[in-house]
């Protein structure tokens, strides 16, 4: 037990265990960059017809979350797309009338650097959201939103909410935006309070899932992108076991049949938005078939805006992953087997 806690103490210093410091990191970013992001929104108000939100891996999930938020705020359409997909699809709307946001912690992600250069060739306006101010993307983008901490998932979403503030100030959507912005400003205090409670129960959750060699991760509504991230960029990357993502509402359209012969283990992200009722139906069904279902319920987080629940729940699930990894013998949360070791990247790219 003492050794486990020593590893947990070390994990709190990990770059990828941002939940240990998320309240301070998010507050620091908002204090430093909220005004610049709003100014960017004002600068491009009325000048653009299309917004693209581009990233790879966990950064793509951040951009998908941001799109879910922006769709209800902006009259300008937005699309979240994987970095290479932006290039391969060659969208006609990617031109001088479009604004493209690129998210990459390192600013050196092979896929996203290539997408940035492609967008510039098409005449689009470009914004890089990166932690490394001296990175390739920071140098080549027209505008840079920098941050120097591990809140890799949360900060691109926060930046785009403040950007939306500059876009719609004084418009009919302003009331909805004010509610969302106030909720965002309240998040550091909520995170500090709720994560103190999550830390106490995370070990028990991790031991419950310890026998699993494959996890099904479900979420819907604003939590769908986080469920994708949790399965593909967290469970598989950190625990090195199998994981499958599904929208919680789509589970009944085919995948549910597998439970006739499969005893599965689930992690389900349950929101407080309109997707809640359908997600509860899915949870009840899976349990009725004998599956073990671990639920993270946004209703237990307190007064969190439904669209912002992913920004809180991301850190809560990180506690689960930290304990799960250590209990499985993976004690260095920053080390990777292939990523960052010149195995998966080409052309001198540093990541993945």
Give the tens place of pLDDT for each residue, 270-301. 999 999 999 999 999 999 999 999 999 999 99
Radius of gyration for the chain, computed over Cα atoms and rounded to the nearest angstrom = 20
The boundaries of the domain holding residue 123 are: 21-171
**Domain identity same for 138 and 278:** no
Is residue 232 domain-resident? yes
Residue 160 lies in a domain: yes
85 lies in the same domain as 152: yes
Reported as a pLDDT band with limits 50, 70 and 90, residue 18 is confident
Task: Read off the pLDDT of each residue in 219-232 and give the average, rounded to a whole number.
Answer: 97
Pair 25, 112 in one domain: yes
151: in domain: yes
Distance CA 349, CA 352 (A): 8
In a domain, 11, yes or no: no
Instruction: Assess contact for 192 and 23: CB atoms under 8 A.
Output: yes
In a domain, 9, yes or no: no
Asked if the structure places residue 347 within a domain, the reply is no
Same domain for 109 and 155?
yes
Residue from 112, 77, 117, 101 nearest 156 by CA: 101
- Nearest CA to 62 out of 120, 18, 9 is that of 18
Model confidence band, residue 337 (pLDDT cutoffs 50, 70, 90): confident
- List the single range of 85-89, 240-244, 254-258, 340-344 with lowest mean pLDDT: 340-344
Same domain, 41 and 100: yes
Residue 16 has pLDDT above 80, yes or no: no
Structural domain ending residue among the three candidates 104, 139, 171: 171
Reported confidence tier of residue 239, pLDDT bands at 50, 70, 90: very high
For residue 166, give Cα distances in angstroms to 8, 45, 183. Answer: 41, 8, 17
For the whole model, what pTM was predicted? 0.94
Asked, for residue 8, whether it belongs to a domain, the answer is no
**H-assigned helices in the chain:** 2-11, 22-43, 58-70, 83-89, 110-121, 136-140, 154-168, 174-209, 224-229, 276-288, 309-327
Residues 6+ apart with CB under 8 A from 268: 217, 218, 219, 248, 279, 282, 283, 286, 293, 294, 295, 296
Assign residue 201 the CATH number of its domain.
Answer: 3.40.50.10490
Q: Which of 171, 204, 238 is the last residue of a domain?
A: 171
Decide: 221 and 275 in contact? Cβ < 8 Å.
yes
Q: What number is the average pLDDT over the span 317-322? A: 95
Q: Is 330 exposed, middle or buried (0-12, 13-18, 19+ CB in 10 A)?
A: middle
**What's the maximum distance between 2 C-alpha atoms anywhere in the chain?**
59
- pLDDT confidence band for 319 (50 / 70 / 90): very high
Considering the domain architecture, whether residues 165 and 227 belong to the same structural domain is answered as no
Residues 245 and 293 in one domain: yes
Q: Which two tokens stand for residue 280?
A: 């509860």
Q: Is residue 335 part of a domain?
A: no
Q: Within this chain, do residues 31 and 167 fall inside the same structural domain, yes or no?
A: yes
Model pLDDT, residue 20: 86
Taking only the tens place, the pLDDT of each residue in 165-182 is 999 876 656 888 999 999
Residue 179 burial (CB count, 10 A): 12
CB 38, CB 162: distance < 8 Å: yes
Asked whether residue 142 falls in the same domain as residue 206, the answer is no
pLDDT at 171: 61
Instruction: Give residue 351's pLDDT.
Output: 65
Same domain, 73 and 191: no
**If 0-12 CB within 10 Å is exposed, 13-18 middle and 19+ buried, where does residue 255 land?**
middle
**236 and 121 together in one domain:** no
Number of structural domains (the chain) is 2
Residue with tokens 């990990």: 14
* pLDDT at site 148: 87
Domain shared by 201 and 157, yes or no:
no
Closest CA to 274 of 228, 222, 229, 312: 222
Neighbouring residues of 69: CB distance < 8 A, sequence distance ≥ 6 = 157, 160, 161, 164, 180, 222, 307
CA distance 268 to 265: 10
CB 245 within 8 A of CB 224: no
């Amino acid at each position: 037990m003492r050794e486990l806690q020593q590893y947990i103490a070390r994990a709190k210093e990990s770059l990828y265990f941002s939940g240990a410091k998320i309240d301070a990191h998010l507050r620091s970013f908002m204090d430093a960059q909220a005004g610049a992001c709003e100014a960017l929104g004002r600068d491009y108000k009325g000048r653009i017809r299309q917004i693209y939100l581009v990233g790879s891996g966990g950064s793509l999930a951040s951009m998908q979350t941001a799109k879910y938020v922006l769709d209800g705020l902006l009259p300008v359409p937005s699309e979240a797309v994987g970095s290479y997909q932006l290039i391969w699809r060659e969208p006609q709307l990617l031109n001088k009338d479009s604004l493209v946001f690129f998210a990459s912690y390192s600013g050196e992600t092979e896929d996203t650097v290539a997408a940035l250069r492609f967008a510039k060739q098409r005449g689009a306006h470009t914004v890089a959201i990166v932690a490394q101010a001296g990175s390739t993307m920071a140098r080549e983008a027209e505008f840079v939103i920098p941050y120097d901490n591990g809140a890799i998932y949360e900060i691109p979403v926060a930046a785009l909410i403040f950007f939306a503030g500059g876009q719609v100030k004084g418009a009919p959507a302003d009331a909805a935006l004010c509610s969302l912005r106030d909720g965002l400003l309240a998040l550091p205090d909520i995170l500090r309070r709720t994560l103190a409670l999550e830390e106490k129960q995370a070990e028990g959750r991790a031991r419950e899932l310890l026998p699993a060699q494959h996890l099904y991760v479900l979420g819907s509504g604003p939590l769908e992108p986080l469920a994708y991230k949790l399965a593909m960029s967290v469970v598989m990357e950190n625990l090195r076991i199998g994981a499958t993502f599904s929208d919680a509402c789509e589970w009944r359209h085919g995948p549910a049949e597998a439970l006739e012969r499969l005893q599965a283990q689930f992690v389900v992200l349950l929101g407080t938005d309109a997707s809640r009722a359908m997600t509860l139906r899915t949870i009840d069904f899976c349990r009725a078939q004998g599956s073990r279902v671990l639920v993270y319920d946004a209703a237990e987080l307190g007064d969190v805006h439904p669209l912002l629940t992913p920004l809180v729940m991301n850190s809560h699930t990180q506690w689960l992953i930290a304990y799960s990894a250590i209990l499985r013998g993976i004690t260095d949360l920053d080390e990777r087997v292939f990523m960052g070791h010149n195995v998966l990247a080409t052309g001198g790219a540093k990541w993945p």
